Amino acid sequence: MNVLLVFAHPEPRSLNGALRDVAVQALEAEGHEVRVSDLYAGGWKSEVDRADFTQLAPDVRLHVAAASGEAFAAGALTADVREEHDKLLWADALILQFPLWWYTMPAILKGWVDRVYAYGFAYGVGEHSDHHWGDRFGEGTLAGKRAMLVVTTGGWEEHYAARGINGPIDDLLFPINHGILYYPGYTVLPPFVAYRVDRLDAAGFTRVADRLRERMRTLATTAPIPYRRQNGGDYLIPSLQLRPGLGGPTAPGFALHLAGPAAGD
Amino acid sequence: MNVLLVFAHPEPRSLNGALRDVAVQALEAEGHEVRVSDLYAGGWKSEVDRADFTQLAPDVRLHVAAASGEAFAAGALTADVREEHDKLLWADALILQFPLWWYTMPAILKGWVDRVYAYGFAYGVGEHSDHHWGDRFGEGTLAGKRAMLVVTTGGWEEHYAARGINGPIDDLLFPINHGILYYPGYTVLPPFVAYRVDRLDAAGFTRVADRLRERMRTLATTAPIPYRRQNGGDYLIPSLQLRPGLGGPTAPGFALHLAGPAAGD
């Protein structure tokens, strides 16, 4: 397979830098071809602004989705964004690697999403009708490709468990896994997460690296997160609400952390 | 009260720009003093990198938390970050206003969080012991102050409802409300959210503006989200898991969107 790894850490000598090297070596050992978008090293521009849409006349009000769609259709997006599109279309699998900062990705990686996910490329794709609400959540430009997160955090695994104060890690990553990867069509694999990385000794690093190698070795075969397809019949259109009868009693969500009568205690 | 509004939209002539003006005018009409941090207009730097820590020798490996803590303790953070600290300490209430891009804040605002939330200021505060895991989640530098989000989205309210495909808006905003605002001590108010803003006509704008004015009028009195205090007895230390018996059956979380046996259907 062709694999694109998007790397978002400012220090190449960091644990993240070491894990990136582990991942690349493990993928290449499997015969995959790997490219890396190192956002810090490449000086990635994080902010969506007028400079992204050179076709926009100076006196015209910037409407981001409209300007993005026009620039994409005209092939007029900036070169850095077009390069990322080429890499995404080339890759059979995408890996986003980042340290969890304030419970989500660093700004520079969010800026990669905000700028690379152009209208017409990652959203605004496909027909809207009574039974099809655009090609998204299971369909789209990147359908048929795999994606996964590689995340490090200083916090403890217990703090990210079902009843942990931070909220369950799968819920915290849902806006990324479902809203950013599944949305334009990716088949999303369970994330790789390394906890308490600030205190990692040599033996601890070896364990984390071994776990990561195993995930890289099984990149093509790991069972994905079974998200429901938007246009597959499970959701009503246009309300996009899950059909009555689907999704029974499930694990408690973030409401666990609310005190008082509504919380059931 | 003193109110700081952090504004993250690239176009002053946008709906967000208009709503910011509505908010500022409504707050001033109540006798509040208002300051605005307009991140795009001020050219905010989004990326945490070595340039943030001028005291760091060129050959020293960048460890962000350590470098941040040293710079904060030495008063050596960059001037733009120190200005934001002064504003945050001055303000009795903080408002973060942004368009929801890919289910969270734009990169420039995440970069404000990543850079302004220094170690020793927003985290790494207070004692760690058997009954107190640092001053956070209800305690901290910004305790006693109020905070709320003002968010716009092109999506429909139904799509962000409990069974909507995007996930419930309160869950999507939990990492921000709980993980970014509550963490350093803020009392967090329910968010203001305006939906389907791309299709808003004049009457629609009036309705949204009226709702926002009412929220600004009641900024000092609105009942907050009743998050549990980390050190108040509800969480075990050091696992920081909610005590057995607390948090009964609650609304289903994001797992609603998983197909198959685990989802109960």
Mark yes or no for CB contact A163/B228 under 8 Å. Answer: no
Of residues A105, A163, A254, nearest to B174 (C-beta): A254
pLDDT averaged over chain A? 93
Quote the distance between the C-alpha of residue A101 and its chain's center.
Answer: 15
Q: How far is residue A52's CA from residue A76's CA, in Å, rounded to a whole number?
A: 9
The per-residue pLDDT for A249 is: 56
Chain B residues touching A101 at Cβ < 8 A: 48, 114
Please report the residues numbered 18 through 37 in chain B whose beta carbons come closer than 8 angstroms to any beta carbon of chain A.
Answer: none
Residue A34 confidence (pLDDT) above 70: yes
> From CA B94, how far away is CA B2, in angstroms rounded?
9
Contact between B92 and B35 (Cβ < 8 Å): no
Q: Which residues of chain A make contact with B137, given a CB cutoff of 8 A?
A: 165
The reply to whether CATH 3.40.50.360 applies to domain A2-225 is yes
- A239 to chain B, any CB pair closer than 8 A? The answer is yes
**Could A227 and B61 be called an inter-chain contact, meaning their C-beta atoms sit closer than 8 Å?**
no
- Exposure string for B150-184, b = 16+ CB within 10 A, e = fewer: bbbbebbebbbbbbbbbbbbbbbbbbbbbbbbbbb
Q: Counting runs of H as helices and runs of E as strands, what totals does chain A give? A: 6, 8
CA distances from A93 to A187, B214, B258 (A): 9, 48, 22
Q: Cβ of B253 under 8 Å from any chain A Cβ?
A: yes
Structure tokens at A127: 């027909």
Sign for the pseudo-dihedral over CA of B260, B102, B165, A229: negative
- Which of A107, A164, A264 comes nearest B46 by C-beta? A107
- List pLDDT tens digits, range B90-120: 999 999 999 999 999 999 999 999 999 999 9
Nearest C-alpha of chain B: how many angstroms from A118? 11
A245 pLDDT tier (thresholds 50, 70, 90)? confident
**Chain B residue with the nearest C-alpha to that of A180:** B102
Where exactly are the structural domains of chain B? 2-225, 226-265
> Distance (Å, rounded) from C-alpha A92 to C-alpha A232?
23
According to DSSP, the β-strands at B146-152 and B187-188 are parallel
For residue A261, pLDDT over 80 is answered with no
Task: Count Cα atoms within 13 angstroms, Cβ side, for A193.
Answer: 22
Predicted TM-score (pTM) of the model is: 0.95
Per-residue tokens: B107: 């990169």
Find how far residue A255's CA is from the centre of its chain: 24
pLDDT digits (tens, 9 = 90+) for A91-137: 999 999 999 999 999 999 999 999 999 999 999 999 988 889 999 99
Q: Is A42 on the interface with B (CB under 8 A)?
A: no
Question: What does the pLDDT look like over B15-24, one tens digit per residue?
Answer: 999 999 999 9
Cβ A252–B256 below 8 Å, yes or no? no
What is the rounded CA–CA span in Å between residue B181 and residue B187? 8
All residues at 6 or more sequence positions from A240 whose CB lies less than 8 Å from its CB, including other chains: A133, A230, B156, B158, B159, B164, B165, B166
Q: Inform me whether the C-beta atom of residue A62 falls under 8 Å from chain B C-beta atoms.
A: yes
The reply to whether B171 touches chain A by the CB within 8 Å rule is yes
Spatial separation of the C-alpha atoms in residues B91 and B37, rounded to whole Å: 12
Distance CA B92, CA B33 (A): 10
- Check if A179 contacts B (Cβ < 8 Å): yes
Which residues, in sequence order, are CB contacts of B117 under 8 Å at separation 6+?
A102, B123, B180, B184
The answer to whether B9 touches B101, Cβ cutoff 8 Å, is no
Least-confidence region, from A230-234, B71-75, B259-263: B259-263
3 state DSSP class of B12: coil
CB contact under 8 A, A247 and B257: yes
Between helices B202-217 and B15-29, what is the axis angle to 10°?
40
B44-75 pLDDT per residue, tens: 999 999 999 999 999 999 999 999 999 999 99
